[in-house]
Amino acid sequence: MAERRELGPNEDPVCGMTVDIEQARAKGLATVSEGVEYVFCGKGCVLEFRDDPATYLDPAFVPSM
C-alpha cells in the first residue's frame, strides 16, 4: 500500500478545510478509500477526490483552496 498523507479525521484532503464530520455524512460529503473515511466541504471536493484519491493522499500533496 502506498504511503499516505497525515490528515485529521475532519480535514478535507482536497482543500485542507476543517469539516463537521456529522454534517458531511448527512450531506453525502463523505467517502471511504481503503477503509479510511474522508470528509469534504462540498460536492466539488468529493468528486475531485473520487476521481483520483491517490493524488490527494500523496504525502507530497499540498492542499489549497
Q: How many C-alpha atoms does 62 have within 13 Å on its Cβ side?
A: 0
Candidates 7-15, 22-30, 31-39, 53-61 — which segment interacts with Zn ion by CB under 5 A? 7-15
* Residue 47, beta-bridge partner list: none
Residue 7: partners with Cβ closer than 8 Å, 6 or more residues away: 13, 38, 57
Q: Are strands 30-33 and 36-39 parallel, antiparallel or unpaired?
A: antiparallel
Write each residue from 10 to 49 as x if it is in contact with Zn ion (CB under 5 A), else as -, in one continuous string: --x-xx-------------------------x---x----
Would you say 4 or 48 has its CB closer to Zn ion?
A: 48
Number of residues this chain uses to bind Zn ion (CB under 5 A): 5
Residues engaged in binding Zn ion (CB under 5 A): 12, 14-15, 41, 45
